[in-house]
Structure 1
Amino acid sequence: MSTCTTVSQDLDEPIAGTAATATTWLLLEQPGPWGAKALTQSHLDPALGRALEAAAQGTGVRIALIRRPGRHADYKRPSERRVYAAHTVPGGVWLRTATVRDPRQLLELDLAALGRGEHHTFDKVLGGHAHTGDPLALVCTNGKRDRCCALLGRPLAAELAASGVDGVWEVTHLGGHRFSPTLLVLPYGYAYGRAEADVVRRVLDGVREGRIVGEGCRGNSAWERPGQAAELAVRRTTGESAAEALSVVRTEGAAPLWEVTVAHADGRRWRVDVAQGAAQPPRPEKCGTSVLGSPARMDVVAVRELRTTATATALAG
């Protein structure tokens, strides 16, 4: 039987420019089962879940639940929970962690400040500190949102954990079920799709060295979808792999056509034309539905390096 993932892969649907968007991720450990809307459909107090969702609106913060891979013991009230916050905008990337006994403490956080990249609220309220271990590998396993996330995501998370990869967590939702198994790697915030264990290991090795692996990359969550596609296109064009080398500094236009300016830390700039198209033919965008859709796709039309003052000086010399 065909699934949304097999149909997407058979049609060779482009994967670049499909990552969830968030300047900052806030992750709360919550064991046990998750519903489709996990913040309000798990053993987390649903009133707390609704309050966190409301508080995050418009802040750039995306809140998700995480749990360790494996059998999910049904602990309704774990004594302690791990919490992470990660800011993903290049030049200001950080990953903080804390342990809390009462998840209601998260309501005391200044989420707008977290979204701007200020971690003082996380440190002050939760006793947070810099995460010094391996990067986080977050694998979407929420089968209540789409069965592919469970059928493909859970085995990937289990295999990574069993092979000794540290920092592996299951996560509630990363978007793009049809690209399962999907993965988010923190602190840099690059998302991956159709992930296989050997590729994930290379991705994590790269992150430890401050590099980004382009294979299977959906984009950096710090940028909107046109910016994600543009930045990845510049990486492909230049061979740049340094994690924080590139930033999206301007996006002009509106659907279906944008001009995106991508800047390098060394001063170089590129103008990238990105067009929004519709993936054809129409198909179910998730399992369990007969409704056909044509997912939006980001197509890079052109990449042009801009002649900056620094470039002109170098050429003149």
Structure 2
Amino acid sequence: MSTCAKVSRDLEEPLAGTAATARTWLLVEQPGPWGAAALTSSHLDPVLGRALERAAEGTGVRVALIRRPGRHADCRKVAERQVYAAHTAPGNVWLHSATTSDPGRLLTLDFAALGRGLSGSFDTALDGRPHADDPLALVCTNGKRDRCCALLGRPLAAELAASGVSGAWEVTHLGGHRFSPTLLVLPFGYAYGRAGAHAVKEVLHGVREGRVVTERCRGSSAWERPGQAAELAVRTAVGEDAAGALSVVRTEGQAPHWEVTVAHTDGRHWLVSVGQGASQPPRAESCGSALGSPARMDVTAVRELSRTGAQGTTGPATR
């Protein structure tokens, strides 16, 4: 039986505009097995997991569990946990790290402030500090959510670790099982699908240089999905790869059509038309689920604007 990832790949389903949305990521190390709802179905105290979910709700913070690639002993006690917080909005991108023997201290974090891009409560509560090492390469490997994540994600994470990528971690959930193996790179927050080890290394090399690789990119988690597609379309149209150069400054409309304004740090602006379409033919969004028509983001036009209106058109460009 075909997996959801194989069907999606065979149908050449577009990746742009499919990334999980989170301006800030809070990552907590938890070795051992993970269930489908990992925060409450792992060896992390489920009471703490539920409390973290509630604390993050509506703040722009997404909490996920991480573990080092490889075989995982079924250990219930962890002496020290690695914890990361990362903010992905251009102009205020940061990645901070800490270790803690008491994950309950996470509940003292100011989640609203973290969502706004303020790192102070993380550093105060956990003795955190700016992370100066390699960027993080987070590969979704949670087979309890979808078998493709385990079958395709775990070998990728293991290969990255074996080849010396110190920032390689397995992560519980990035969404879009059918795009496995899926990857999130921090601190910039760009997600990728159908990733191979060589391509991931190119992405990480770009991050170290402050560049965004757009090939197989699903979008930046800093933006909602229409904004993700619009920003990638502008990058492609004008050949811009500087990570902090573009921001989504306005999104008007509602499904199935949006007008998204993308701004450059040099003062240029673009108006991007984004439509929501239904993927055809029907396919399963996840292994074992019923056939459906997943929503897709289609960019139909990219227009550069002046102070008085449109100067020109670089579209239509359908993705």
Count matched residues: 310
Give the TM-score of the pair, scaled to structure 1.
0.97
Structure-2 residue corresponding to 1:265? 265
The residue correspondences of 1:1-317 to structure 2 (distance < 5 A) are 1-289=1-289, 291-308=290-307
Structure 1 vs Structure 2 CA RMSD: 1.0
Per the normalisation by structure 2, the TM-score is: 0.96
The alignment partner of 2:151 has SS state of helix
- Distance in 2, Cα, partners of 1:77 & 1:238: 51
Q: Provide the rounded CA distance (Å) in 2 between the counterparts of 1:166 and 1:270.
A: 38
Unaligned runs of 5+ in 2: 312-319
Name 2:316's counterpart in structure 1. none
**Separation of aligned partners in 2, 1:84 and 1:283:** 36
For 2:38, what is the secondary structure of its paired residue? coil
Gaps of 5+ in 1: 313-317
Q: Distance in 2 between matches of 1:11 and 1:151?
A: 20
Tell me if the contact between 1:268 and 1:308 (Cα under 8 Å) persists in the aligned partners. Answer: no
Q: Contact 1:65/1:171 (CA < 8 Å) preserved in 2? A: yes
> Separation in 1 of the partners of 2:240 and 2:188?
15
1:142-174 deviation digits (Å, cap 9, x = unpaired): 000000000000000000100111100000000
In 1, the alpha carbon distance for the partners of 2:284 and 2:164 equals: 36
The amino acid across from 2:46 in the alignment is P
The alpha-carbon deviation at position 22 of structure 1 amounts to 0.2
- The amino acid that maps onto 1:197 is A
Rounded Cα–Cα distance in structure 2 between residues aligned with 1:282 and 1:234: 29
Q: Secondary structure at the match of 1:281?
A: coil
Q: Per-residue deviation at 1:255?
A: 0.4
- C-alpha separation in 2, matches of 1:46 and 1:235: 42
Shift of 1:308: 3.3
1:110 & 1:75 partners in 2: Cα distance? 30
2: CA distance between counterparts of 1:13 and 1:288?
19
Identity %: 76
Q: Matches of 2:72 and 2:21 in 1, distance apart?
A: 28
**3-state SS of the aligned residue for 2:145?**
coil
Letter in 2 for 1:308: R
The Cα shift of 1:281 comes to 1.1
- For residues 106-151 of structure 1, the C-alpha deviation after alignment (integer angstroms, 9 at most, x for no partner) is 0000000000000000011110000000000000000000000000
Summarize deviations over 1:36-86 as a string: whole Å, max 9, x none: 000000000001000000110000000000000000112211100000000
- Secondary structure in structure 2 of the residue aligned to 1:13: coil
Distance 2:73 2:98 in 1: 22
User: Structure 1 residue 187: deviation in Å?
Assistant: 0.1
Residue 224 of structure 1 and its aligned partner are, at CA, apart by: 0.1
1:250 is paired with a residue of what secondary structure?
Answer: strand
CA positional deviation for 1:11:
0.8
* Whole-angstrom distance in 2 between the partners of 1:32 and 1:91: 36
Q: Which whole-Å CA distance do the structure 1 matches of 2:214 and 2:197 have between them?
A: 15
Q: Distance in 1 between matches of 2:259 and 2:239?
A: 21
Question: Which residue type is aligned with residue 152 of structure 1?
Answer: L
1:39 alignment partner, SS class: helix
